[in-house]
Each structure stands twice: as C-alpha cells, then as structure tokens.
Amino acid sequence: MTGYNTTQNRMIAGRAIISALALWLAFSGMAAGEQLYVNESGWWWEGGAFNVSSAPIQAAVDAAGEGDSIYVEGGNYYENVDVNKPRLTLEGEGADVVTVTAADTGDPVFEVADVNYVNISGFAVRGVTDDDMTGVYLDNANYCNISGNNIYGNHRGIQLSFSSNNALTNNNVNSNTEHGIHMGWSSNNALTENTASNNEYGIYLWHSSNNNNLTNNNASNNWNGIHLTFSCNNNHLTNNIASNNWYSIDLYSSSNNTLTNNTASNNEQGIYLWHSSNNNNLTSNTANSNDDHGIYLHNADNNNLTSNTANSNGYYGIYLSNADSNDITCNWVQKNTQHGFYISGGSTSNTIEHNNIIENGNYNTTSGGWEWQFYMGQYQPVEAKHNYWGAGMNNSTIDASIYDDDEGWGEVEFYPFETDPVPCTPTPDESSTFTTADAVIALQIAVGSRPFDSRYDVSGDGKVTSLDALMILQAAAWRVEIG
C-alpha cells in the first residue's frame, strides 16, 4: 500500500503544479486566445472596461499578451503601430472600412520586428511617404501572415527584410511611389493572389531565394512588374500576370529560378533574363503582344525555354544576345512584326529545335519567304534544325526566311526541318485585344507584303485595308477589343 500511496501523491502533486502553472500563465497575460477590441476612441478587453486612447491600436497591442487577438472596428485611425509581441493577431473589420494612416510619415504604419507568428489582415494602410519607408514592414520576423489588406499611397507597400516563412495573400498593393512588395534577404516566403499595380516596381526581390512568388499574383501597370535582382535564386514564379508594364518579368544576376504558366503580355518588354541569369527554367509561359520582345536572353547561359509562346510582339519573338548553351525547344513563335528569332553578340552552343517558327516578319511574294523568321546579327554559325517554319515551306522558302550568310553573316543550319507543326509546342489562343504590333501587320497586309488574314479584317468587308490598320491602332491605344 505504501508504494500505491506514494504514486498517488505524486500524481496529485503533479496536477497541482499544472493547475498552478495555468493560473500563473493566465494572470501573467500569456494564456492564448484572449480577445481585445478597438474603435476610434479606445480599446477594451472582451467583457472589460473601455479605455480611452488617441492611439487605440497601439494601446491594445501594448496591453495584449502572446497569443491574443485584436479586432479593430471600422473607422479612420492615425497612428504608427509597433508590433513587438509574438503570436499576435490584428484583424481589421475590412480593408474597405478600416483605414490606418501614418501619424509619422517616416515610420511604418505596421512594423513587426524581431517577433514571429504575427497576423495582420483587413486594413487599408497609407501615408508612409518618406524615402525607403514602408506601409507594412517585417524586419527579422518569421511565420507571419499578411492578408486581405489594401496598401496604397506609401513609398513602399509591403517590405520584408531578413524575414522568412511568411505568407502574403490577397493584398492589394497599389499606387505606392517605389515598390509594391519588396523582399530583401528573405527566403521561403509565399506570395499568393496579390495585386501590385501602379507602383514603380510591382514585386521586387533582392538577395532573396527559395520563395514561391507570385503564385496567381497580378503585377500590372507598373514600370517594372516582377523584378528579381542580385542573387535571387531558386524562386518559383507560377501563374502570375504581368501586363501593361514597361518591363514585364525580368531577372538580373539571378539563377536557378523556375517560371511556369506566367502571362507577360501587352508590356513594352516581355520576359527578360540578363547579366548572368543562368540555369533558369521557363516553361509554358505566354509572352505575347509586347511592344518590343517576347523573351530576351542577354548574357544569360544554360537556361531552358520549353513550351512557351512568344507571338505578335512588336519586334522579336525570342532574342539571344551573348547568350550561350541555352536549350530552346517546343516553343511557339509566330507573327512577330520583325523577327521570330534574333541572334547576336556571339551566342553559341544553343539548342534551337522543335519549335514552330511561323509567319514572322514580312512576306516576300517573290521568294515565298518571310523576312525575317530568323535573323543573324553575328558571324558565329547557329544550328536551328528540326523546326517547323509554316505550311508549305521548303528548302528555298525557309532559306529566304533566314537572314544569315547569304546576307554576309554567320550561317544558320536549318536542315532537316519539320513538315508539320511540332506537337510538343503549346497551342496559343488568339487574343481578341489588339496591339500596335497588330496595326503594323494589318498595314503590311493592306500593302501586299503579307498574306490575307481574316483576323485583321475588323471592318468586315472581306479585305484588309489601311482603314482596318487605323481601327486596330486606335483599339491598341485604348487596349480595347474589337468585335
């Protein structure tokens, strides 16, 4: 019996210790799940007394403990909030009804520094206008969730510095002076379904790796849509839209990234890899209807371009300059205004095969070739075998479509070639929105330097004239659909 009593006493003592610890945690403010509320005049604990404050969100943060939640009712708040406690949730009633404007334009509206597991959602955040200052700032903060916010009118919208494993979801980051979303020295973050528009840079990564960016994000109407610079490696960009920017998606000195199913259309320039951006994989992306190029590799080596479309761009479909040992296969390159492929700068050892290269440049009624499907701007030879060059094309017409040694440059070896469209390429959808490149094509058809295409008969009279070209140009200026 003695042994039984000893065991029983230990169990009772253990329960007493657990109960005492629970009480201590509760009274010290460390118990999880306490709820606080905020309105424009002050804050209160659930079921507690009201506390008047001129900075009620900050006062509630100061009063809260680890694991607590703060609900902010609709209204206009003028303060800068320092979140210095872990596992804190700040939930606004909604970004359409809760606006937090910086009281100090040189300090973030929400700053989360040196703490983890903080959630911020449901706010409109504005008014941080000093240089390099940010609406929502995570500094050495991990496992945080920033979601459902409208962040505008700041120098930068959201910034992560030395912060990892965070989730940025469904935020509207618009009309900020510099960057919409800025990440520096930050890794393993997930950016999903955010809209970054009317900023200088929509999404900007600097020395940040292993992030999932931009899954289903929209970075449009910025000077630069999505920009990865200086050792941004091993990032994944999937299902993003970058349109109506000057630069769409560009990688500078960034390697081993994966770009899949992104749309880079109606920009000045499409997808751009440069300055030692090597070993990247570009798969099933759409780079159509940009004013300059679809995909441009400059001083970028050992990249894989597979199953992309680069159609109806103002100048070039795919442009290689001083770019070596790239694998360019199974891409659809069609109806680019000047050239399908442009090779220059001593680009060597590239694999360019099993692509559909169709109707790029101007049609030459005498030679039956397209000037120029493939343009050589270098003396080093290039192999471009096993490609499909369009219906009915033969040795003579393909050769007439290539600007190479016959014109005084290096030779393009194109034989053997495919006589049917290459099945491994994507099948592009014909866009119903016209661009300036389409206006040029319509004018070429009108003057007889390009075969008739019913798509450009927007007047519906069975022919393409200068009137159709003018109508298309007007539609392109407004980015509207015809028909």
Report the pLDDT averaged over residues 34-62.
Answer: 98
**What are phi and psi for residue 58, nearest 5 degrees?**
-65, -40
One-letter amino acid for residue 201 of the chain: Y
User: pLDDT, tens digit, for every residue of 336-385?
Assistant: 999 999 999 999 999 999 999 999 999 999 999 999 999 999 999 999 99
Asked whether the predicted pLDDT for residue 443 surpasses 60, the reply is: yes
Residues contacting residue 7 through CB under 8 Å, at least 6 positions apart: none
Q: What is the mean pLDDT of the chain?
A: 91
The percentage of residues in the chain with a pLDDT greater than 90, rounded to a whole number, is 82
Q: How confident is the model at residue 455 (pLDDT cuts 50, 70, 90)?
A: confident
- Using 50, 70 and 90 to split pLDDT, how confident is the model at 473? confident
What phi and psi, each to the nearest 5 degrees, are found at residue 356?
Answer: -95, 110
Q: Lowest-confidence range among 110-114, 454-458, 473-477?
A: 473-477
Residue 475: strand, helix, or coil: helix
pLDDT, tens digit, for every residue of 394-408?
Answer: 999 999 999 999 999
| pLDDT of 460 | 86
* Mean predicted confidence (pLDDT) in 174-186: 98
pTM for the full predicted model: 0.86
Amino acid 436: pLDDT: 75
Q: Which CATH number fits domain 30-214: 1.10.150.120, 3.40.50.9100, 2.160.20.10, 3.40.50.880?
A: 2.160.20.10
Mutual orientation of helices 436-447 and 466-478 as an angle, nearest 10°?
A: 180
pLDDT grade for 66, boundaries at 50, 70 and 90: very high
Cα angle 237, 319, 293 (rounded to 5 degrees) comes to 70
Q: How many Å from the N-terminal Cα to the C-terminal Cα in the chain?
A: 94
Q: Stretch 182-205: mean pLDDT, rounded?
A: 98
Q: List Cβ neighbours of 474 (8 Å cut-off, separation of 6 or more).
A: none
**Residue 405: per-residue pLDDT:** 96
pLDDT of residue 481: 64
Above pLDDT 70, what percent of the chain?
Answer: 91
246 φ, ψ (degrees, to nearest 5):
-75, -60
Q: Across residues 441-445, what is the average pLDDT?
A: 86
Instruction: Give the per-residue pLDDT at 32.
Output: 57
For range 53-62, the mean pLDDT: 98
Asked whether the beta carbons of 106 and 130 are under 8 A apart, the reply is yes
On the question of pLDDT at 25 being above 60, the answer is: no
pLDDT of residue 11 exceeding 70, the answer is no
| Nearest-angstrom CA–CA distance, 92 and 90 | 7
Where residue 143 falls among pLDDT bands split at 50, 70, 90?
Answer: very high
User: What does the pLDDT read at residue 451?
Assistant: 81
pLDDT for 15: 37
Q: Pinpoint the residues of the chain covered by CATH 2.160.20.10.
A: 30-214
Question: Amino acid identity of 207?
Answer: H
- Distance, CA of 337 to CA of 344 (rounded, Å): 18
Per-residue model confidence (pLDDT) at position 31: 44
What average pLDDT does range 428-433 have in this prediction?
66
| Residue bearing the bigger pLDDT, 326 or 462 | 326
Average pLDDT of the residues in 81-104:
98
What average pLDDT does the segment 165-177 reach? 98
How confident is the model over 265-289, as pLDDT tens digits? 999 999 999 999 999 999 999 999 9
**29 pLDDT more than 50:** no
Structure tokens at 280: 């990247």
Question: How many angstroms separate the CA atoms of 401 and 410, rounded?
Answer: 15
Q: Is 44 helix (H, G, I), strand (E, B) or coil?
A: strand
The residue whose two tokens read 């929502």 is 136
More confidently predicted of 164 and 14: 164
8 A C-beta contact, residue 29 and residue 65: yes
Q: Which helix (H) or strand (E) holds 436?
A: helix 436-447
Length of the chain measured in residues: 483
Q: How confident is the model at residue 435 (pLDDT cuts 50, 70, 90)?
A: confident
Question: What pLDDT band is residue 26 in, cutting at 50, 70 and 90?
Answer: very low
pLDDT > 60? residue 17: no
